[in-house]
Amino acid sequence: MNQNEHAWFIEQIAAYLAGGQDQPERERFQTHLAECGECAAELESMRQEDKTMQAAFAGSVPGAEFEQRIIAGLRQRWTPRLVIHPMVRRAAAGVAAVLVLGAIGYTTTTMLSEGGLPTIGSGGSSGDGVAVGPFRVSAWPFGRNRTVCANDLRIMGRTPDSDAIDKESQANGPVQSELAVYSDGKADEGDGDTWALGDRKITLKGATVSSGIKESRSVSTIQPPSAQLAYGLVRPDAPADPRSFKPAELAAGAILPLEKADHQLGRFVAGDVQEGLRVPTSGTDGKASGDGTLLLGGVALGDARKRESGVSMNGNAVATHYFFSTNGSASKDPAALGRIASGTEIAAANTKDLANTPAVGVRGSPDGNAPAQGQQPANATPAATTDSTAGRKIIRNGTMEFEVDSFDSAFAQVSKIVKEEGGFVASTESQKLPNGKMTGMVTLRVAPEHLDTLILKLRALGDLKNQKIAAQDITKQYTDLESQLRASRAMEQRLLEIIKTGKGEIKDLVAAEKELGVWREKIEQVEGEIRFYNSQISLSTLQIALSEKDVKGAAFTSETELRSVGIEAEDVEKAYASAQELVSEFKGHIVTAVLKKLEAGQFAASIVCDVSPENAGPMSDRLKQLGNVARLEAERKLTTSDGAEPPVTSKVQRKDTRFVISLYNLANIAPRETTNLNLACGNVEQAYRSILLRVAKSGGRVVGSNLNQLKADQTTATLSFQVKSDQADALLAELRKPANAGDAEVTRLTTTENPDTANVTIAKRGFAVQIVSLASVTPRETVNLQLAVPSVADAYKSLTELLNGQTIQARILSSRLSEQDRQNVTGSLDFEVRRADLPAIDKALTSAGDVFSRNASRATDAENTIDSKVRLTMGLINAQNLAPRETFSISLEAANVEKALGDISLAAAGLKGRSAESHLTRQANGQTTGRVTIDVPLVSSAEILKTIREQGTVRTVETGRNAQVPDGSLARARLEIVVSNGEGIVSGDKGIWASVRNALSTSVAGLLWSLQLIVIGLFLIVPWAVAIWGGTKLVRRMRSAKNRRSVVPVPGGKD
Amino acid sequence: MTESDEALVIKSRAGDRAAFEELVRRTARLVFARLFLETGNAHRAEDLTQETFLAAWRSIRQVEDPKLFRGWLLAIAQSVHLGALRQAGRQKRRGRQAPDEAMAALADPSPTPAQAAETSESRQRLLAALKELPEHYRQPLMLRYLAGADYQSIERQLALSNGALRGLLSRGMAMLRETMSETRPS
């Protein structure tokens, strides 16, 4: 009994109780149990425990068939093997709802934006295909496309006016019309056969005809309320009787459409194709017929016979007219047909050609009465014109105008011709003109029949200038006169009878006698008039005007000469007397002589005299000795007796020469030439005085002088004087530089010539001099300078010293030095210097600093400015404030950023540069970036660049140049250096985070869009949902209320 | 039944229903016992067992390592049980009594009330004691007492060898007795 056996036993108890021991174990267990009481007790205790426990769950322990039950249960529910998780299902439902909402939102948005969402009340249909929502209503040509079938013939056509017809049909009852169609038999098999009539076309579709005929059938009947008119033209060889001809015999294309017989019909006809082909239908009653020439639209289509047929339809008579050729000459001129078809021409035919062509234009009338008036025989011909004029009283008169070589021979010829024609010369009248030419008038009388031949014969007389033949119809006056005569005769007879019978009182008889006298006078008067008319009618009057050639030539020509002389004389009175003496010396005579003494010693004399032509030349020469002949005009003029063109051959008579002599002195005569001089002088007063002296010396006349001295700077003077012309140029040369006047400059020099050549003299010249102070005139040239200097204050000081000094004559207009702070010092100088001093100024500027801008401007005004001085406007700025001339952007990669930055700054300092800004960034990932901006003198830029290159790898260098900054010793270069160590070359907009950001922003954009759609959908759905929900609630409540009501009557029932 | 559990799992994953049924036979009582332990009600445990296997069949493809099938199955059982609890809670909140509990109250009317009370009392005690035990030792005992499995059956349900089960059983019993003796005086 060792301890091991006990332990084993204890451990086996549970297995034993559970029945999990195999045979050897069970035997060993039993053996030990039998041996050991302690263990037996333990076993018993355990067994008790086990039993209790089993008993506790005995009722609920599943039986042996438990597994089978589970499996059976499973088998029942196998089928939906992959049932979606409820959560998934819910999620899917949510997604679906969202999608539906989104889709609704999207559709709504689209439709709203396209304007296609149907809005209440807009209707949206205007008849011809307006889009309404997703539907499109096409405008169907209901009833408009009148496809008419005649057996298998079809006419395709549209009737735009069918609406009107429809309206009329509503107003007037059923509309009927006959329609008949013919084919000419030449139709291609299966092809459309088109007839062109005017601008319309009739297309016959499917006209597969063998005999060329398709029987006509009335299909759609349209009848205008009143009569209609139809024209047809049949083929030439057709039988005469319309009732017997067959449609095949119709001339091809010669069927004319209905015309505008009346308004209604006209509207119908217009634009329609199916109208107007009218054929005789069997059973029509012919009412009238006639022969004649068919003229349609003024075009003869050939002899035609007209046949009328009246057809009564619903009480409305319709007259139909057919015209068919009887002599085979029917015109097929399409133009004529077109004109006929167009309606207007036919209307003209109705009115115009009716008289001669009864076959046309007969119009049916509603009562069926065929208009027989239109059928007069067509015997009227144009030859009837003569017959019609037979009874007329016509006076024929004529006038002719000839230019002949000789009047007398022409007259003899006329007399001969008129005799030949049985006429006579009624009167003749001739006249001899002063130039010896003959002109005259011959009046001929001749029988009217001979007038034309007479005129023809007279044509040979000479050059026919004018011819007029007039016929005056006096039939009416003549008949009036005749009837007047008859009435007067009757009256005379009556009065005679009264007198003869002698009845009545004496007084009455005397009155009758008196009356008789009045009437007799009247009778004679009328008879005279009739006789006059008769003579006028029986003999035509022809008036012939004859004139010899060159009848207007002048008779004689005279020549006169006019000499106009202007003489300047010192002593006018003496010259006046001498001139008069001269006239008498040359045997002329003085017409007028005037001597005037005017103000300011001015004399003026004028003499008008006539001198014989041979003395005119010597006279002119002598006049020149009187003084200075300022002007001499000679005009020679030919004059004819009657103002006509002087003939070459005519004799010229020389008449006296007329002199018009003007004598005057020069005292008050303006000089021809005046010189205007504007002068700018240093010393105005001195200049003024010296000019006055000089004028007096040269014997000139000072007209006016004025010196106006306000201040030294503003002194002005004006001088006006006249000097003799020969001294003028020398004087002008001296005027340019007056003595003792300092610097002088001519700002303006103009010379004007007086256009009035008559009243001026060239013997003297006028001067108008205006003198102003040199200081008060603005310089022509202004130079704007910008000067960059190392020290503004020093430069300002040295420059002002220079300007105020003795070496340079300068006039400082303004100067300013402003010192805001040490860095911001600016100065400006505005001064005028003589041009000669400019080099000295330039030298001073160059030594002071750099001129970085220089704008020189010259005023366009050359008149009020002077060139001898220059104005300088100068701005002084600190060179440090200048923009850098060159800019370098350098990105550098260096291992040690800080060291590189330090080295660069050090090098810059060594080169007199300075670093403007500098910063260093050190990022968490070890990347270090340093930026430094340094300014160095431009000359040192190469050196500093070299230093930079030594620091590491230069990645990029960008160079910029500011062209506005001068390239001088003060020019600077700016270097913007970015130094970084190796990392971080990848730009910030790439990498994971950037992608994530991108993705997020895209997603959010999508999300927002979706959200928008969902909200739209939601608001479309929500009202419906609420309405449906409310409706259901209501229905349910009503139903339950009904139920309650049915329950209520039960006694003791509860609600 | 020569096929191993692992092979059966693989076949089931491919959609073999027979293999899955065999797996059900081999694990049903374990699941039941476990659910009984959780619910204390045989009917509910059986219903939930049914649900568990249904859920397991539906998601059998999720099993990656066939060796861990039992653990996975028990986890499903647990989640099914929790789901059922949640549903019951919801229903209770809506004011409806869970039918299961009503049924449980009526269950097993045959024993006398006193007996029933005693049984119920010892049952609660036993279940409480079992819950105290480590999972390892608890499983054989659960199978034995709650699921009425015999020794071979336990072996099969837990896929254990004879020797291993014996030790587990013996130690489990000892621990259970200890726990019971601790709680009994109260």
- What is the full DSSP assignment across A258-299? P--SSHHHHHHHTT-SSS----PPTTPEEEEEEEEEEEETTE
* CB-based contact A56 B177, cutoff 8 Å: no
The per-residue pLDDT for A643 is 61
Name the residue with tokens 């040490």.
A822
* CB-based contact B170 A10, cutoff 8 Å: yes
Closest chain B residue to the Cα of A53, Cα to Cα: B145
The per-residue pLDDT for A1001 is 92
Nearest CA among A206, A154, A214, A205 for reference residue A184: A214
Task: Say if CB A880 and CB A912 are below 8 A apart.
Answer: no
**Rounded to an integer, what distance in angstroms lies between the CA atom of residue A140 and that of residue B57?**
67
Bridge-based pairing state of the strands A850-858 and A628-640: unpaired
The per-residue pLDDT for B112 is 59
A916 Cβ contact list (under 8 Å, min separation 6): A933, A934, A935, A974
The per-residue pLDDT for A1003 is 92
Pick from A52, A63, A69: which is nearest to B122 by CB? A52
**Rounded to an integer, what distance in angstroms lies between the CA atom of residue A916 and that of residue A911?**
14
Mean pLDDT, chain A, rounded, equals: 70
ipTM for the predicted complex = 0.81
Burial class, A210, CB count within 10 angstroms (exposed 0-12 / middle 13-18 / buried 19+): exposed
* CB-based contact A57 B180, cutoff 8 Å: no
Paired residues of B184 in beta bridges:
none
- Element spanning A640, H or E: strand A628-640
Residues of A in contact with B25 (CB under 8 A): 67, 71
A651 Cβ contact list (under 8 Å, min separation 6): A556, A557
Bridge-based pairing state of the strands A603-611 and A589-597: antiparallel
SS3 call for A115: coil
Burial class, A266, CB count within 10 angstroms (exposed 0-12 / middle 13-18 / buried 19+): middle
**Rounded to an integer, what distance in angstroms lies between the CA atom of residue B16 and that of residue B8?**
9
Given phi > 0 = left and psi -120 to 50 = alpha, else beta, which region is A206? left
Three-class SS of A757-772: CCCEEEEEEEEEEEEE
Q: What is the DSSP letter of A531?
A: H
**Rounded to an integer, what distance in angstroms lies between the CA atom of residue A233 and that of residue A255?**
6
Residues of A in contact with B36 (CB under 8 A): 60
Weakest mean pLDDT among A134-143, A954-963, B82-91, B154-163: A134-143
- Asked whether the predicted pLDDT for residue A821 surpasses 60, the reply is yes
The more confidently predicted of residues A488 and A174 is A488
For A788, the token pair is 């960059």
* CB-based contact B25 A19, cutoff 8 Å: no
**Could you write out the DSSP letters of every residue in B25-56?**
HHHHHHHHHHHHHHHS-HHHHHHHHHHHHHHH
* CB-based contact B29 A10, cutoff 8 Å: no
Q: What is the DSSP letter of A257?
A: P
Pick from B49, B167, B173: which is nearest to A70 by CB? B49
Q: What percent of chain A has pLDDT over 90?
A: 3
Bridge-based pairing state of the strands A628-640 and A716-724: unpaired
**Could you write out the DSSP letters of every residue in A864-914?**
SEEEEEEEEEEEEEEGGGSPPSEEEEEEEE-S-HHHHHHHHHHHHHHTT-E
CA B20 to chain centre: 18
Pick from B50, B123, B152: which is nearest to A56 by CB? B123
Pick from A20, A49, A67: which is nearest to B25 by CB? A67
The per-residue pLDDT for A314 is 37
- Asked whether the predicted pLDDT for residue A359 surpasses 50, the reply is no
Residues of B in contact with A69 (CB under 8 A): 46
**Rounded to an integer, what distance in angstroms lies between the CA atom of residue A477 and that of residue A688?**
103
**Rounded to an integer, what distance in angstroms lies between the CA atom of residue A794 and that of residue A847?**
12
For A876, the token pair is 């002084």
Interface test with B, best of A8, A43, A48, A67 (most B CBs within 10 A): A67
| Interface contact A12, partner B, CB < 8 A | yes
Nearest 10 degrees: Cα torsion A137, A142, A148, A154 = -10
Task: Say if CB A68 and CB B157 are below 8 A apart.
Answer: no
The per-residue pLDDT for A1006 is 92
Mean pLDDT, chain B, rounded, equals: 79
SS3 call for A380: coil
- Asked whether the predicted pLDDT for residue A488 surpasses 80, the reply is yes
Paired residues of A469 in beta bridges:
A398
* CB-based contact B151 A56, cutoff 8 Å: no
The per-residue pLDDT for A1031 is 94
pLDDT tier at A587, thresholds 50, 70, 90? confident
For A547, the token pair is 């004139």
Task: Say if CB A274 and CB A159 are below 8 A apart.
Answer: yes
- Burial state string for A1011-1021 with b = 16 or more CB within 10 A and e = fewer than 16: eebbebbbeeb
Pick from B53, B165, B169: which is nearest to A70 by CB? B53
Looking at CA atoms only, how far is residue B40 from chain A in angstroms? 9
The more confidently predicted of residues A85 and A605 is A605
* CB-based contact B146 A11, cutoff 8 Å: no
Nearest CA among A625, A627, A624 for reference residue A604: A627
Pick from B29, B155, B165: which is nearest to A66 by CB? B29
- Asked whether the predicted pLDDT for residue B9 surpasses 60, the reply is yes
Residues of B in contact with A20 (CB under 8 A): 150-152, 154-155, 162, 165-166, 169
Looking at CA atoms only, how far is residue A21 from chain B in angstroms? 9
Residues of B in contact with A82 (CB under 8 A): 58
Task: Say if CB A962 and CB A884 are below 8 A apart.
Answer: yes
The per-residue pLDDT for A477 is 86
Sign, Cα dihedral of A816, A820, A825, A826:
negative
A269 Cβ contact list (under 8 Å, min separation 6): A257, A258, A259, A260, A275, A276, A343
Looking at CA atoms only, how far is residue B97 from chain A in angstroms? 23
CA distance from start to end of chain A: 86
| Interface contact A19, partner B, CB < 8 A | yes
pLDDT tier at A1033, thresholds 50, 70, 90? very high
* CB-based contact B166 A53, cutoff 8 Å: no
**Rounded to an integer, what distance in angstroms lies between the CA atom of residue A916 and that of residue A486?**
138
Give the up-direction half-sphere exposure of residue B103: CA atoms within 13 A in the CB hemisphere.
8
Looking at CA atoms only, how far is residue A19 from chain B in angstroms? 6
Pick from A11, A63, A67: which is nearest to B170 by CB? A11
Q: What percent of chain A has pLDDT over 70?
A: 68
Q: What is the mean pLDDT of residues A205-230?
A: 32
Weakest mean pLDDT among A187-201, A382-396, A469-483: A187-201
Chain B residue set in contact with A, beta carbons under 8 Å: 17, 21, 24-25, 28-29, 32, 36, 41-42, 46, 49-50, 53-54, 57-58, 108, 111, 119, 122-123, 126, 144-148, 150-152, 154-155, 162, 165-167, 169-170, 172-173, 177, 180
Bridge-based pairing state of the strands A316-325 and A299-313: antiparallel
Closest chain B residue to the Cα of A76, Cα to Cα: B54
One-letter identity of residue A483: S
For A989, the token pair is 């907009």
Residues of A in contact with B150 (CB under 8 A): 18-20
Q: What is the mean pLDDT of residues A676-684?
A: 83
- The C-alpha angle A49, A51, A56, rounded to 5 degrees, equals 100
* CB-based contact B32 A62, cutoff 8 Å: yes
The more confidently predicted of residues A967 and B173 is B173
Question: Sheet harboring A928-937: ordered strands across?
Answer: A914-922, A928-937, A972-980, A886-893, A953-961
The more confidently predicted of residues A13 and A1032 is A1032
Pick from B42, B53, B170: which is nearest to A15 by CB? B170
Given phi > 0 = left and psi -120 to 50 = alpha, else beta, which region is A395? beta
* CB-based contact A57 B172, cutoff 8 Å: no
Bridge-based pairing state of the strands A589-597 and A438-446: unpaired
Looking at CA atoms only, how far is residue A1034 from chain B in angstroms? 25
Looking at CA atoms only, how far is residue B17 from chain A in angstroms? 9
State pLDDT tens for residues A754-763. Answer: 887 767 777 7
Name the residue with tokens 């160590």.
A981
* CB-based contact A74 B144, cutoff 8 Å: no
Looking at CA atoms only, how far is residue A94 from chain B in angstroms? 22
**Rounded to an integer, what distance in angstroms lies between the CA atom of residue A336 and that of residue A198?**
9
* CB-based contact B173 A57, cutoff 8 Å: no
Bridge-based pairing state of the strands A778-789 and A865-878: parallel
The per-residue pLDDT for A1034 is 93
| Interface contact A54, partner B, CB < 8 A | yes
| Interface contact A18, partner B, CB < 8 A | yes
Closest chain A residue to the Cα of B150, Cα to Cα: A18
Three-class SS of A343-378: CHHHHHHHHHCCCCCCCCCCCCCCCCCCCHHHHCCC
Residues of B in contact with A79 (CB under 8 A): none
Please give the C-alpha separations between residue A989 and each of A326, A890, A1002, in angstroms, as whole numbers: 102, 21, 16
Pick from B46, B126, B155: which is nearest to A56 by CB? B126
Residues of A in contact with B172 (CB under 8 A): 14
**Rounded to an integer, what distance in angstroms lies between the CA atom of residue A62 and that of residue B146?**
8
* CB-based contact A62 B147, cutoff 8 Å: yes
Nearest CA among B65, B45, B56 for reference residue B21: B56
Task: Say if CB A903 and CB A912 are below 8 A apart.
Answer: no
| Interface contact A10, partner B, CB < 8 A | yes
Pick from A46, A73, A78: which is nearest to B50 by CB? A73
State pLDDT tens for residues A184-216. Answer: 333 333 333 333 333 333 433 333 333 333 333
pTM higher than the cut 0.80: no
State pLDDT tens for residues A233-264. Answer: 333 344 444 444 343 333 333 333 333 333 22
State pLDDT tens for residues A835-868. Answer: 888 888 888 888 888 787 788 888 887 777 888 8
- The C-alpha angle A416, A421, A422, rounded to 5 degrees, equals 95
- Asked whether the predicted pLDDT for residue A277 surpasses 50, the reply is no
Looking at CA atoms only, how far is residue B94 from chain A in angstroms? 20
- Asked whether the predicted pLDDT for residue A617 surpasses 70, the reply is yes
pLDDT tier at A528, thresholds 50, 70, 90? very high
**Rounded to an integer, what distance in angstroms lies between the CA atom of residue A684 and that of residue A743?**
10
* CB-based contact A13 B17, cutoff 8 Å: no
CA distance from start to end of chain B: 47
- Asked whether the predicted pLDDT for residue A1028 surpasses 90, the reply is yes
pLDDT tier at B111, thresholds 50, 70, 90? low
**Rounded to an integer, what distance in angstroms lies between the CA atom of residue A898 and that of residue A804?**
55
Compute the count of residue pairs across chains A and B with CB atoms less than 8 Å apart: 110
Residues of A in contact with B166 (CB under 8 A): 11-12, 14-15, 20
